[in-house]
Amino acid sequence: MEPSYSSFGHNPYNIPYNEANLTAFQDDGIWLISCSFSIWTMVSGFGLLESGRVSSKDEVNIMVKNIVDVVFGGLSYWMFGFGFTYGKDFPNPYIGIGYFFYNPDEAGQASDQAWHYARFFFQMSFATTTSTIVSAAMAERIRLKPYIVITYLMTLVHSITAHWVWSEDGFLHQLEVVDAAGCSGTYLFFALFLIQKISLSCSSSRWSFWFSCNTLFKA
């Protein structure tokens, strides 16, 4: 996994790292870190948005769940998620194998390590934000411990869909699909939003005066 000008793992220009383009790679790393912090701010934004859509007694619970998304989602991505997306031990179009418990220090030179840290941090920000968005479907409908488990698993599911698009071995990438913003690698994953909504049903105390919760939204 050589450093490249593409933050998503495929580099059409196949530009290797060397001293001649050191400044360019440093600039790329700074840009990735800056973008990562911009994406992380979405987590707090989603927390405020969701807390405004629930009853006052559940506002703290919603904010805690957004922290859970970052902590346990990030743990999941470090343990298996990054490997499911970019693993090279067993190349196939559907899921990556390798790079589990990812350690950028294994990249070799310190300059290479810095790039890999920046790239990992950027991809992790995508993965954890994805679970934060989907969590809105479960507001006021799930306890904290089951939510931690679901967050852990949702991050892994996102990592598999990301492999399809952002890995050189992914079948969508091989079909020449280009997705630099996550519209497929991230939003294909949002089908889980509907599944969670139907499975947990609607909040009858809030919506029963509009329609019956035992019909469309009742699993």
Contact predicate 184/177, CB 8 Å: yes
Full-prediction pTM beyond 0.85? no
Helix, strand or coil, per DSSP, at residue 177: coil
pLDDT score of 180: 76
Say if residue 31's pLDDT is above 50.
yes
- Find the range with the poorest average confidence among 18-27, 81-90, 143-152, 158-167: 18-27
**% of the chain beyond a pLDDT of 70:** 72
Domain locations in the chain?
A: 19-207
Architecture of the domain made up of 19-207 = Orthogonal Bundle (1.10)
Do residues 167 and 85 lie in contact, with contact meaning Cβ atoms separated by under 8 Å?
yes
Per the prediction, the chain carries an average pLDDT of 78
What's the pLDDT at 129?
85
- Give the DSSP letter of residue 137: G
pLDDT in tens, 172-210: 889 988 887 777 767 776 676 677 667 766 555 555 555
* pLDDT at residue 108 in the model: 57
The mean-pLDDT minimum among 14-23, 60-69, 97-106, 142-151 falls in 14-23
Token reading at 88:
């090279």
In tens, the pLDDT along 80-138 reads 999 999 998 999 999 999 999 998 777 556 566 777 888 899 999 988 888 887 777 78
The whole-number pLDDT of residue 192 equals 66
CA angle 155, 161, 165 (to 5 degrees): 130
pLDDT score of 77 = 95
In the predicted structure, residue 52 carries a pLDDT above the cut 80: yes
Kindly write down the DSSP assignment for every residue of 179-208, as one continuous string: -SS-TTTTGGGGHHHHHHHHHH---HHHHT
More confident: 17 or 105: 105
